[in-house]
Amino acid sequence: MKSIIRYIRGYYRIKVPSRHKIRVANILLHNGIENWHEESSEEGDLCFCISEKDYKKLLYIIDKNGTEVYIVYRRGLPSVIASHRNRAGLLAGLFCFFLIIILSSFYIWDIKIVSDTNINHNEILANLKALGCYEGTFVPSLDFDDLCIDYVNKHDNCSWISVNVKGTVAEVEIREREIYSHLPKEVPCNLVASHDAVIEDFQVYSGKSLVEQGNVVKKGDLLVSGIVEKKDQSKLRLCHAEGEVWATVDSELRVEVPFDYKKQEYTGQEWEKRQVRFFNFTFPVFSTVPKKKENCTHLTEYGDVVLFDEIELPLTMEKEVYRQYELKDARYTKEQAQAAAEHLMENKFAAELSGAQIIKISTNESVTDTAYILTCSVKCRMNIAKPVEIQTN
């Protein structure tokens, strides 16, 4: 630490001939002049370092005595500045460098989504861009509180979002909304049965219940009404019915996979397009993509430009690959058709019986000349309440 301070203040290395060294040593001793790195040469000369300020003091004293001292060298920040005094370009460059660094810290260089979310990252970035937050945005011009509120209000799939600017990187934390009802709370609605079922249990949070335990309901039957009477029974009012109606459901899911299908086969023809994106500007680098292209798949890869594995530049390399394909007639074997049917059945299960507690399940397969058919009979317990908007016009 001491040596850093000495460097900043600047210091001299002084050489005193042997005939004067006792006098100079005594001057230093009596005048409280700090010195360091003292050395005696073979010839008896005394060498030491003193600060620039003390050197002036020493010179003032020894001038009176006629003592000789010699400067061996001058070191420290003042000497560096003095030696570069005439290099205006260097100073201007340094000034520009720091100015650019400071100015660049006012812009968003990169947006990173740090939360583990199922929402597509590109979708989030596009939504933020629509609200004025994108690479190259001037940070002081953004009100991040308003941005987050606007985002949540405009996008139903998000329940909470936070944008934190760390240096030049905007870190986005986002939480998905668990959608129980697709309808906003202010919209009046009824709850109807989503499946044919036998009601086991129900809880109504708002609205008027129209069913009881043990009732048999058909798909579309009204379970909870959103039309309720006022307390004085004078008028009716509309409300957003909310509740859970748990029922035993017998459902049959059917999947049919035809043996003959169209297969997508790549021809080997491939086109590439590369471009560099800097903030909001895109610069094409090269492209082999023809203007007319049909039956192509399109894939875009994004790569950040990183210096020394540490410094992330606000440059993005975009690589677009177009691969041509042709549709050919193909035929599944029985095993392939079965695998495809099972995959489709899984998706259908997730879509239609999501959140259901399975009580009993049985499967049946049948093969015709043209298709493989997989049927699944399921007995389960699930919430069958489905909100349906009340049309008021």
Partner 1 sequence: MNRKKKRVAGRLADRFELPEGMFCETAEASISGNSEFCVEHCLCILKYEREEIWLSVPRFTVKIYGECLTLKSFFLKSVAVRGRIKKIEYEEKPGGKR
Cβ at position 37, least distance to partner 1 in Å: 9
Q: Is residue 274 exposed (0-12), middle (13-18) or buried (19+ Cβ within 10 Å)? A: middle
Residue (of 54, 95, 86, 75) closest to 8 by Cα position:
75
The residue with tokens 């899984």 is 346
Cβ at position 19, least distance to partner 1 in Å: 11
d(CA 178, CA 157): 8
For residue 148, state whether it binds partner 1 (rule: CB under 8 A).
no
Q: Out of 10, 12, 14, 35, which residue is the one contacting partner 1 (CB under 8 A)?
A: 35
Q: Out of 5, 8, 38, 313, which residue is the one contacting partner 1 (CB under 8 A)?
A: 38
Q: Out of 14, 28, 58, 249, which residue is the one contacting partner 1 (CB under 8 A)?
A: 28
Positive or negative, the CA dihedral 69, 74, 77, 81 is positive
Neighbours of 314 (CB within 10 A): 18
Mark the segment that binds partner 1 (CB under 8 A) among 40-48, 254-262, 318-326, 358-366: 40-48
CB 339 within 8 A of CB 358: no
Mark the segment that binds partner 1 (CB under 8 A) among 3-11, 37-45, 114-122, 370-378: 37-45
Mark the segment that binds partner 1 (CB under 8 A) among 30-38, 78-86, 235-243, 284-292: 30-38
For residue 145, state whether it binds partner 1 (rule: CB under 8 A).
no
Residue type, 255: V
Q: Out of 9, 25, 183, 352, which residue is the one contacting partner 1 (CB under 8 A)?
A: 25
Whichever of 16 and 374 has its CB closer to partner 1, that residue is: 16
For residue 22, state whether it binds partner 1 (rule: CB under 8 A).
yes
Cβ at position 45, least distance to partner 1 in Å: 11
240: DSSP letter: B
* Helix or strand holding residue 52 (H, E): helix 52-65
For residue 44, state whether it binds partner 1 (rule: CB under 8 A).
yes
Give how many residues touch partner 1 by CB under 8 A. 17
Residue (of 258, 350, 277, 265) closest to 315 by Cα position:
277
Q: Out of 6, 12, 46, 257, which residue is the one contacting partner 1 (CB under 8 A)?
A: 46
Cβ at position 76, least distance to partner 1 in Å: 19
Cβ at position 64, least distance to partner 1 in Å: 17
Interface of this chain with partner 1, residues 273 to 292, rule: CB under 8 A: none
107: DSSP letter: B
Cβ at position 50, least distance to partner 1 in Å: 10
Q: Out of 40, 159, 333, 347, which residue is the one contacting partner 1 (CB under 8 A)?
A: 40
Distance of CA 376 to the CA centre of its chain: 41
Q: Is residue 190 exposed (0-12), middle (13-18) or buried (19+ Cβ within 10 Å)? A: buried
Cβ at position 112, least distance to partner 1 in Å: 56
234: DSSP letter: S
Q: Is residue 255 exposed (0-12), middle (13-18) or buried (19+ Cβ within 10 Å)? A: buried
Neighbours of 212 (CB within 10 A): 8
Whichever of 20 and 155 has its CB closer to partner 1, that residue is: 20
For residue 66, state whether it binds partner 1 (rule: CB under 8 A).
no
For residue 317, state whether it binds partner 1 (rule: CB under 8 A).
no
d(CA 12, CA 55): 7
391: DSSP letter: P
Instruction: Note the residues at the interface with partner 1 (CB under 8 A).
Output: 21-22, 25-26, 28-30, 32-36, 38-40, 44, 46
